[in-house]
């Protein structure tokens, strides 16, 4: 393990900087996946303004991955609550069962209007990675989360 770390450092210093490919870092031919809870990729993040427009056009499948009690305390209109711990299992449900359980049409892997959100953006980023891993490659997340939504809606 220590030798791998030394090799990676040597490669990174030799090449100056690692090359980032989405969520994969490549240095000296070594590739590792990363989970970036810092700045989200702009392609996979939805802004407040974008989300408002999608909601106005009824062109979004908005999934709130907060816990049920958080969802009941306040929510973004038209969002469907699927707590993060149940997300993977729920996205694997047959379409009819998903619709029975959540009262909305099941998302399809090629849909480009799937948006996950949570309180502050951390859980929704994890939800996004789960969705991408399951084949929902065009899914995005609302990085500002419910905190941002609530602040902007009060103005």
Active site residue 28: no
All residues at 6 or more sequence positions from 102 whose CB lies less than 8 Å from its CB, including other chains: 80, 82, 90
| Rounded Cα distance, 30 and 52, in Å | 41
Angle at the Cα of 44 from the Cα atoms of 152 and 86, rounded to 5 degrees: 85
Neighbours of 104 (CB within 10 A): 13
The one catalytic residue in 65, 84, 106, 118 is 118
Residues identified as active-site:
118
């Amino acid at each position: 393990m220590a030798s791998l770390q030394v090799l990676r450092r040597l490669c990174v210093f030799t090449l100056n900087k690692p090359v980032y490919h989405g969520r994969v870092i490549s240095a000296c031919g070594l590739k590792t996946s990363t989970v970036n809870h810092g700045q989200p990729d702009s392609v996979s993040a939805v802004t407040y303004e974008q989300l408002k427009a999608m909601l106005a056009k009824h062109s979004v499948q908005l999934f709130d991955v907060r816990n049920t009690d958080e969802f009941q305390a306040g929510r973004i209109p038209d969002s469907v609550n699927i707590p993060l711990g149940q997300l993977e299992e729920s996205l694997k449900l047959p379409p009819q069962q998903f619709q029975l359980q959540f009262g909305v049409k099941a998302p399809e892997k090629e849909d480009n209007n799937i948006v996950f959100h949570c309180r502050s953006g951390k859980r929704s980023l994890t939800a996004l990675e789960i969705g991408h891993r399951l084949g929902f490659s065009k899914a995005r997340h609302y990085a500002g989360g419910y905190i941002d939504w609530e602040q902007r809606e009060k103005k």
